[in-house]
A and B are shown apart, each in its own frame.
Chain A
């Protein structure tokens, strides 16, 4: 009869678990309380059936346990009983289905007053686009996607000129205004999931999908990709900030339109030369980096990455951790650059420096490092060349001592720990993949061998695994 005791214990335990477990739906932050309602109905109906069926099972096992002198009752069917059970089950099922379909009717019908935002997914980042003053999105095409045009905007479509481009994984939405989220992927399938909003939908390359909701609670909410999209899936994060409409308008007005982005001319090296003067003290006159000052090599680094880091230093996304003394040193220098143009100028000047390979100062097992680097290569490229699409900087040609220190800082959250630094957050998680002490050393000593020429077919296929 141990089975009876265990079944009862599991039955009671399961029901108690529902009430006592610390894990429940996260506090709702959208209009979809009705979804929570359907879940609640389902808990009640299924909970009752679960208890009833199993209690009857336990009763039958106790009452009709084997006795030598007993015969089972012989009654092959009982039409009436079976009809009753069918009918009752059908009623229970309808009680679940009817509210489910009712709420689904609301889910598929977007309110006419909903405003629109587009969420663009690519491995493993989010970007956002607002339609601008004309209320309509310009044409896009994945064929047009490039480092200068990460959204794939069609330059010939006048509707796209005023589209507001948010080239970062964070979006602000106004509270209490219904929003239709248009979903577009540029590579594989992703899913826009914010647990607190309940609603979610896949982003499918080659088409535009959508869902709608009304954010009802102010605050920051994490976007987690909920459809397997490759090795970086677990680190594909974004953030939705739900705020007062004023704050939303301010935020949006700071973001460049497509027209603004197109008018950027890539900076003026001559104007940047003067601005670079304060940098030279630490980074060296030719941006070669100096170990004594702890300043990394700048020559050869991708311009978009340098600008982003300057912006991060300036706004405090980077260099504000109390243990990040080097970062703190950098912040005042970044603040001397008044605007985007100034940053573009200085970066353009850096672009004129010769890119010389730095001296190696570390030794590690670069064969093991090569295997470890597979994970890194998914974003940074097999040759460490960097990739704007995945927001990953160039690694090849950087000093090994600098790479090592950054990985250590990421692991400790000293860099990338700012709650709004989503790229940094991603790198924090990725750096943790290197679990042992020699991991960093090994992978860095592999990176110092990059870029390499691929010589054999076997090399090519190995690299392709995570290219």
Chain B
């Protein structure tokens, strides 16, 4: 009994999976450019997302220059400042985080972790990347069109997104909307692949309740995205029609007569946030999943409360569709909605809190190796707890009223959906780089990168909450002489700007590490972290096209058999058959005490 792997569903018969035919190209271009291999597509996604993400990072530095040292730089005028704000936000949320977590990590990890040879539709998967690249290029073209990119904020609220007084209303807003439409088309191609692969292409024995939480997180996020992005898609198309064809979906009659009448700006906000709130979880759920695997692997302990973790992911995913209007408490919608949306929003805190408890309880009574991925995971926990708790301010309708549209909001959402997922992404890159390249990332550079990023981002965003408490509004080019804003706010802005530059500079060490270790890193071997999940059990490192050699792996156990009592090693990979003593206990749900 004490010897058995934990598996609540070990009585389920293993599914039979048919072999799939793969196209094995011979040329360099076929292998690395027009590749249908999910692993190559993942790297393509990763590089493209990082490249456009660096642009957004530079934009944030320009904003910080203006806020830290207002009226100093002649290139930053109010219009360009708003353009930085808008492009920074949209790039980071959609083109970096969504693309990186689903496009890059989803593509790399789903087939390997499920024990599949590739995504179910490799050709569509390849198209998905190229369409994404097109979306990025159209978005970037906004910087070069007359008038520059849109300055309507990443939320693109009409009427100002298409009305005089806002930068980029001629071309910038069009490139933005068209790019989003293209992005959503590309994402749908990839997203359908991820969902179908998880549901249909798992190897023998890989039941749903044996999936690593990474796959659960990415899977659920993809389901959310497939349901949420259409709302954004129609919102974009309707605004394009308002802008180009003179319709009035979102355009009321306005003082500056533009021929519009009768549209509803609030309709756009509902559509936008019906996408926008699930989007938070589209970013968060993969991060939740990945960090679960980082914590378990490096703490040498099973994830605590696996089933609760899976159900929490599903519950959060479901609830995320009924909380959107908490972004609109002071939007002028019927204020009675506040009762409903505050309640649903605070309910979502329960499964989220449970996940936090279970991560910490996984560390508890573990055997914690403080490897670089683990440091990032701990950094995530600390940051996410902070960001989650500040969400309880903003989700609770009454508390939100004085804080909305202030720097409290900026601090909150950067903590919870910028820094927290990015720390997980960094941890994940340190964790899986050895599998992707066969070499370890440099440890000292990794430590440097972690410490500066973790402490630096906290120094940037934690004080912002207090500025917001005092009432400092967001999206302001300058604060001028405002009686209730204390002089020390300017000092804080200088400090935050310096911290931002330090953090940004430290990312150079990371980029350098990625490049240098590719050639000079220590050989990793197939399973450097002694992990249990299937991607570490491939016959080749890096895995070749098709992943598994001649035979698909067969799965016999859940993904978290760390520290199994009586076992020789402190981990048992998922494809290791049960020992005789183990199998006799199979089906009883043994291991639970």
Binding site for B on A (CB under 8 A): 2-3, 6-7, 10, 14, 17-18, 21-26, 32, 34-35, 38-39, 42, 45-46, 49-50, 53-54, 56-57, 60-61, 63-67, 70-78, 81-82, 85-86, 89-90, 93, 96-97, 99-101, 103-105, 107-108, 122-124, 141-143, 145, 152, 183, 186-189, 191, 193, 195-196, 198-207, 209, 211, 220-222, 224-235, 372, 374-375, 378, 389, 425, 428-429, 432-436, 439, 458, 461-462, 464-467
Nearest-neighbour CB distance to chain A for B8, whole angstroms, equals: 9
Show 11 residue pairs from A and B whose CB-CB distance is below 8 angstroms, ordered by the A residue: A2-B451, A22-B486, A42-B399, A46-B389, A82-B308, A82-B354, A86-B350, A96-B346, A104-B339, A230-B164, A374-B79
CB distance from A111 to the nearest CB of B (A): 15
B514 at the interface (CB under 8 A from A): no
Contact of A78 among B265, B305, B336 (CB under 8 A): B305
Counting chain B CB atoms within 10 Å of each CB, the highest count among A207, A233, A374 belongs to A233
Whether A49 touches B389, Cβ cut-off 8 Å, given contacts A71-B570, A206-B263, A231-B78, is yes
Tell me the smallest distance from the CB of B45 to a CB of chain A, in Å: 31
A187 to B256, Cβ gap below 8 A?
Answer: yes
Q: Which of B369-412 contact A (CB under 8 A)?
A: 369-370, 375, 378, 381-382, 385-386, 389-390, 392-393, 396-399, 401-406
Given A72-B300, A187-B255, A429-B480, CB of A461 within 8 Å of CB of B170 = yes
The contact of B565 among A74, A103, A104, A429, by CB within 8 Å, is: A74
Known: A71-B367, A234-B477. A142 touches B255 (CB 8 A): yes
Contact with A along B326-353 (1 / 0, CB 8 A): 0000111001101100110011011001
B332 CB contact (under 8 Å) in A67, A203, A221, A462:
A203
B479 within 8 A of A: yes
- CB contacts (< 8 Å) of B469 on chain A: these are 23-25
CB distance from B9 to the nearest CB of A (A): 13
Binding site for A on B (CB under 8 A): 6, 70-74, 77-79, 82, 146-148, 151-153, 157, 159-160, 163-171, 252-257, 262-266, 299-302, 304-308, 330-332, 335-336, 338-339, 342-343, 346-347, 349-350, 353-354, 356-358, 360-361, 363-370, 375, 378, 381-382, 385-386, 389-390, 392-393, 396-399, 401-406, 451, 454-455, 458, 462-463, 466-467, 469-471, 473, 475-484, 486, 488-489, 492, 560, 562-565, 570, 591-593
Please name all residues of chain A whose beta carbon is closer than 8 Å to the beta carbon of B389 when the two chains form the complex: 46, 49-50
Residues of A within 8 A of B405 (CB): 191, 193, 200, 226-227
Give the most central of A50, A99, A206, A221: most B CB within 10 Å. Answer: A206
A66 touches B484 (CB 8 A): no
Q: How far does the alpha carbon of A140 sit from the alpha carbon of B368 in the complex, in Å? A: 68
Q: Which of B74, B256, B332, B346 has the most CB of A within 10 A?
A: B332
Residue of B170, B335, B375 touching A465 (CB-CB under 8 A): B170
Instruction: Give the contacting residue for A228; candidates B157, B454, B482; CB below 8 A.
Output: B157
Chain A residues with Cβ below 8 Å from B390 are 46
In Å, the complex CA distance between A432 and B79 comes to 14
- B59 CB to nearest A CB, Å: 16
Q: Check B166–A230 contact: CB distance below 8 A.
A: yes
Contacts of A198 in B (CB 8 A): 401-402
Q: From A64, A101, A124, A224, give the contact of B299 (CB < 8 A).
A: A64
A73 & B301 in contact (Cβ 8 Å cutoff): yes
Known: A61-B378, A435-B74. 8 other contacts (CB 8 A): A26-B470, A38-B399, A64-B365, A75-B365, A145-B255, A152-B255, A375-B78, A432-B480
State A203–B255 Cα separation when bound (angstroms).
Answer: 14
Partner of B342, one of A100, A186, A200: A100
Neighbouring A residues of B402 by C-beta, 8 Å: 25, 32, 35, 39, 195, 198-200
Query: Which 3 residue pairs spanning A and B have beta carbons closest together?
Result: A206-B252, A195-B471, A230-B165
The answer to whether A462 and B146 touch across the interface, beta carbons within 8 angstroms, is yes
In-complex Cβ contact of B78 among A3, A23, A232 (8 A): A232
Q: Is A464 a contact partner of B169 (Cβ separation < 8 A)?
A: yes
Across the interface, do A57 and B342 meet the contact criterion of CB distance under 8 Å?
no
Report chain B residues within 8 Å CB of A42: 392-393, 396, 399
Say whether B332 contacts A201, CB under 8 Å: yes
Enumerate chain B residues within 8 angstroms of A374, measured Cβ to Cβ: 77, 79
A230:B160 contact, CB within 8 angstroms: yes
Given contacts A82-B305, A461-B146, contact A188 B165 (CB under 8 A): yes
CB distance A97 to B170 under 8 Å? no
Interchain CA distance A403-B164 in the complex, whole Å: 25
A222 touches B78 (CB 8 A): no
Q: Which residues of A contact B592 (CB under 8 A)?
A: 75-77
Docked CA distance A229–B82 (Å):
10
Instruction: Give Cα A429–Cα B476 distance, bound, in whole angstroms.
Output: 12
Do A86 and B354 contact each other (CB < 8 Å), given the known contacts A74-B591, A107-B335?
Answer: yes
With A46-B389, A72-B299 in contact, is A226–B473 under 8 Å at CB? yes
Q: Bound complex: CA of A73 vs CA of B362, how far in Å?
A: 10
Given A17-B466, A97-B396, A195-B471: A60 touches B366 (CB 8 Å cut-off): yes
Bound: A34/B390 CA distance, A: 19
Taking a contact as CB atoms under 8 Å apart, the answer to whether B165 and A466 are in contact is yes
In the complex, which of the residues B72, B164, B353 contacts A467, with contact meaning CB atoms closer than 8 Å?
Answer: B164
- Point out the residues of chain A lying under 8 angstroms from B398, CB to CB: 34-35, 38, 99-101, 103-104, 107
* Known contacts A195-B402, A375-B78, A462-B146; is-contact A65 B370 (Cβ 8 Å): yes
**Other-chain contact of A123, B146, B165, B253, B486 (Cβ < 8 Å):** B165
